[in-house]
Amino acid sequence: MLNVIYEDNHIIVVEKPFNMPTQEDESKDRDLLTEVKDYVKVKYDKPGDVYIGLVHRLDRVAGGLMVFARTSKAASRLSEQIRNREFHKEYVTVVEGQIKSEKSQLVDYLKKDKDTNTVQVVNKNVKDAKEAILKYEMIESKDNLTLISVDLLTGRPHQIRVQFSSRKNPIWGDGKYGSSYKSRKGIALWSRKIEFMHPTKKTKMTFMLEPPLVEPWDKFKVNRKMD
């Protein structure tokens, strides 16, 4: 059942479950975009196709907060905020091992291999390499796992996963990028906070949602909240 956090005539904020595609892919599994369209269609008794604008994405294996646009104007304005880095996205993740610095900024150049759907860190002079920037802060370390908050400054495919994996700190459950933990419920990457200007009201909108208390998040349930 779709978990709607907020909705009005212009936007709808929802929780994306782990292992659900953001939009339809080759698997043809039920996707979040279709879920949102069906929800709006039924609730408001909309005839025909329902417009829902996809303005950002989450990897299938990740979960957490997402906002969709209910009008083309809202979609355009939210997309512009994302391009201008005015749309704030904060994640929380659990990585393997100890991190070198408790607080830092990571800057890399990434290139995606479309054939394998994987991304790797490359030299900035490599063709089609794109700059990837994030800031992070350690919250707690326990049982050779580290809970980290991530402020994502650029939105490259698999960015958080690849940047930490390249530093020998793969995300828990992320077998694609070197995790030693296997999980059928998704990886330990959660979109915890989104903040943006409302596309028509011009007021700041802030939404927060904690990850579920399941493995490995439950290891940090005492100190998992961040300021």
pLDDT 10s digits, 138-149: 999 999 999 999
The domain spans of the chain are 4-220
In this structure, which topology does domain 4-220 adopt according to CATH? Pseudouridine synthase (3.30.2350)
Q: Are 29 and 21 in contact (CB under 8 A)?
A: yes
3-21 average pLDDT score: 97
Q: What percent of the chain has pLDDT over 90?
A: 86
The band of 184, judged by pLDDT with boundaries at 50, 70 and 90, is confident
Q: pTM of the prediction? A: 0.93
Count of Cβ atoms closer than 10 Å to residue 193 Cβ: 20
pLDDT at 27 over 70: yes
pLDDT at 44 over 80: yes
As a whole number of angstroms, the distance between CA 160 and CA 172 comes to 12
Taking the alpha carbons of 124, 126, 128, 134 in that order, is the dihedral positive or negative?
negative
φ and ψ of 214, to 5 deg: -125, 170
pLDDT digits over 53-66, tens only?
A: 999 999 999 999 99
pLDDT at 82 over 80: yes
Q: How far is CA 141 from the centre of its chain?
A: 22
φ and ψ of 113, to 5 deg: -100, 105
